[in-house]
Amino acid sequence: MSLGPRSNLIFAAGGDVLAKYGTLTRRLQIPTFGGEGGKETFARASVATSQGYVTPGVLGIVPVAVGVPRIDWAVDPVTGLVQPYALIEATATNQARFNRDLTNAV
Amino acid sequence: MPAAKDQVGADGVASGASSLLATAGNATCLQAITLASSQRLQSAWIKRLVGSGTVQMTTDGGSTWVTVAITTAWARYTIPAQTVTNPSIGFRLVTNADKIAVDYVQNETGPFVTSAIANATAGALARSSDFWTGGWFLQPQTLWWYCRFLERGGVNIGSSPVLVIMGADTSGFGTQITLGTTSGSKFILLHSTSGPAVSVTTATGPTVGQVCELLALIRADGSVELRQSLNGAAETTTGQSAGLTFAPAWTANTIGIGTIAGGGDSGVTTEAFSRVLVGLGTGVLTVADARAVAV
């Protein structure tokens, strides 16, 4: 992370940070204050999914384990490019049962 | 109509998804759900296997059929949300002998779709909230925050979730600066000292699918200003609030992205962040300035 004299950036997080550094969070400050070692604390009590590459060049659904942050690959409507995003979601409930096996639909 | 679990799924797994084959015109596949009246959003991953006829989805047992323009590649389709008691969800193939693949059928509360929830059970299945927090280290002072995210519906959540919060306790209270949502699908920037507070609110907010950029300015006199750009358009500003003397310390040395520190479902947003930046001083004063900052 560059610490420009103009912006005085001290913290960065999100998909752009992941794309550049391979981590979701970067914090620039002297180590005494938890600087470069700073890392997010993440929690999610259930498994989940995100949109990612299931084969090269093909976006689909990828499973994400309990407690693991999610990276969602999506087309940016401004740039037109597929890029990673850090996905944060509130809880949701799927009422559709056996939702991948329609032999159980009724 | 006949169904088989015989398709490579949207996750690339063999036999992960199902196929539906029309053995007559207007063939249907429906699942009845016992549920109190609520706004329901219906979605599914679909691709065409055979034929070219009309494919439709329903939330209300076929009283309303909505055509989805599917292709031969997996894609997710949604139909407009409906307020329904005991929804009956499913598909209709208008043309005999047409065949489609279906995966990750989802029926959830609210006006917007969220990430796919795989449910292999005979009941409803919940996905838990994401909680992202971290330690902070500097006392209240002149700051700027910049968020760039894909609007996924969080601005419409009635419990007014946060985008970025600094300094609050685990309940979301205390000496803090909060950038969050507020009623009317707008954003609010709040500087609070556990008593006196100042805030500003945007005139509008994004719609689902737009790129939203927000720049929060916390100035030397403790006043706040919020600047917004939607899909790269010219930025707008709330103007500057009244001043507020900085407290000597935060209530808690934490920063939360999309959630209050310590978690709490009511504080969690639903957004996809490409950037959350925090800087000191007044070197960044516009969204255009913030875009130019290299991470």
Using a CB–CB cutoff of 8 Å, tell me whether A43 touches chain B. Answer: yes
Judge contact between A61 and A49, C-beta under 8 A.
yes
pLDDT tens track for B92-149: 999 999 999 999 999 999 999 999 999 999 999 999 999 998 888 889 999 999 999 9
Distance CA B259, CA B247 (A): 23
pLDDT > 70 in chain A, percent:
83
Distance CA B76, CA B68 (A): 10
The domain limits of chain B are: 3-109, 133-291
Judge contact between B57 and B20, C-beta under 8 A.
no
Domains B3-109 and B133-291 share a fold: yes
CB atoms A29 and B132 under 8 Å:
no
Which parts of chain A register pLDDT below 50? 2-5
pLDDT tens track for B192-235: 998 899 999 999 999 999 999 999 999 999 999 999 999 999 99
Write down the pLDDT at residue B186.
Answer: 96
Which residues on chain B are in Cβ contact (under 8 Å) with A44?
128-131
What number of CA atoms fall less than 13 Å from residue B19's CA on the CB side? 17
Which residues on chain B are in Cβ contact (under 8 Å) with A5?
283
pLDDT tens track for A33-61: 655 666 788 999 999 999 999 999 999 99
Q: How does the average pLDDT of chain B come out, rounded?
A: 95
CA of A99: which chain B residue's CA is closest? B105
A17 backbone dihedrals φ, ψ, rounded to 5°: -70, -40
pLDDT surpassing 50 at residue B44? yes
pTM, two decimals, is 0.93
B138 token code pair: 């500097």
Architecture per CATH, domain B133-291, reads as: Sandwich (2.60)
Residues in chain A: 106
Topology at the third CATH level for domain B3-109: Jelly Rolls (2.60.120)
